[in-house]
Amino acid sequence: MSSVEQHRLEVVEQTLALYDLAELYRPWLERNVSSELSYHGQQHLAVVAIHAHRLAEEYLESSDEALYLFLAGLYHDYNHTGDASAHDSKNILKALEAWRAVAHEFSLLEMLKPVAKLIMATEHDSTPATVAETIIREADYAYVLEPDKELWYDRLTIELGVPVTEESTNSYLSKLKFRYLAVKS
């Protein structure tokens, strides 16, 4: 694991501790069946959670919403199939299942619905209805801002089975209208 990747995991652990949820870190790290996927593993979840939390702190006034966005980032692709041909809704259902189990296990029932709603907003065919939903959708593309973004293109190429380059990514992202994430579009 690179120092950048290790740092991401440390930020996740520290942010959970900030919200008195440090006990979630080990189960999050150890139970994700997709943790070994080249793209949709722990590092992707960490990137999305960290960027969603940062954007929430910048654009939203509610610390609850910042926490919900962080948790949604951590679980939005949890137990992802890694199957490029699978419809995104299949992976969303797997993520929701994992989040529900965690919310029940750790008595986070007051957070169950708001986080679940944000997880559902990451489905590619959905249209965000709130600022928080827009933030989580945009954070899902935050890998392009990472110092190791070339590695992310390689990981997507492996998982999707088609070449993913900075050029093809920029072409795709140019079709999206980013409001909060500082991505050139």
Per-residue CA distances from 5 to 12, 31, 45, 47 (Å)? 11, 18, 12, 9
pLDDT of 185: 43
Segment 143-171 shows an average pLDDT of 90
Q: Nearest Cα to 16, choosing from 28, 7, 6?
A: 28
Continuous segment of H or E residues that includes residue 77: none
Task: Kindly tell me if the per-residue pLDDT of 84 is higher than 90.
Answer: no
pTM of the complete model: 0.94
Q: Is the dihedral of CA 29, 30, 31, 35 positive or negative?
A: positive
